[in-house]
């Protein structure tokens, strides 16, 4: 049981480049999330998908887009990377209010130069 898998683990981008962070979960969870973690700022929600077919903005959505491709996969796209998007990105998934434990991926360390 792999849980939540994020790819890649590390990435360096040049300003203006685009990339997609991939996230997949094999636990049949309904809800999926993307966060960024910066020193002193905690985990800030970028986008989330409460269920397959829906996506909603979180606290810091500007500069990002998401796609809930199917129940398993939730991708995060940076169309034109900026140095301010240098961060560690976490994907998470959660079953439902019956089982409210969120499971997290290992994180992606992204550096934009």
Partner 1 sequence: AQTVTQSQPEMSVQEAETVTLSCTYDTSESNYYLFWYKQPPSRQMILVIRQEAYKQQNATENRFSVNFQKAAKSFSLKISDSQLGDTAMYFCAFMKGWSGAGSYQLTFGKGTKLSVIP
Q: How far is CA 71 from CA 67, 95, 97, in A?
A: 11, 11, 17
- As measured in angstroms, the least distance from the Cβ of 62 to partner 1 is 15
Give the residue, chosen from 7, 22, 50, 72, that forms a contact with partner 1 under the rule CB under 8 A: 50
User: How far apart, in whole angstroms, are the C-alpha atoms of residue 108 and residue 15?
Assistant: 18
Give the residue, chosen from 59, 69, 77, 82, that forms a contact with partner 1 under the rule CB under 8 A: 59
User: How far apart, in whole angstroms, are the C-alpha atoms of residue 11 and residue 1?
Assistant: 26
Residues forming contacts to partner 1 in the complex (CB under 8 A) are 30-31, 33, 35, 40-45, 48, 50-51, 56, 58-59, 88, 90, 92, 94, 97, 100-102, 104, 106-107
């Amino acid at each position: 049981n792999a849980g939540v898998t994020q790819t890649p683990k590390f990435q360096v981008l040049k300003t203006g480049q685009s990339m997609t962070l991939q996230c997949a979960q094999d636990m049949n969870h309904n809800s999926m999330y993307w966060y960024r973690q910066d020193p002193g700022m905690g985990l800030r929600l970028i986008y989330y998908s409460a269920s397959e077919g829906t996506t909603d903005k979180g606290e810091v959505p500007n500069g990002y887009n998401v796609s809930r491709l199917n129940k398993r996969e939730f991708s995060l796209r940076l169309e034109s990377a900026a140095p301010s998007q240098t961060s560690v990105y976490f994907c998470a998934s959660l079953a439902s209010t019956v089982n409210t434990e969120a499971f997290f991926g290992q994180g992606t360390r992204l550096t934009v130069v």
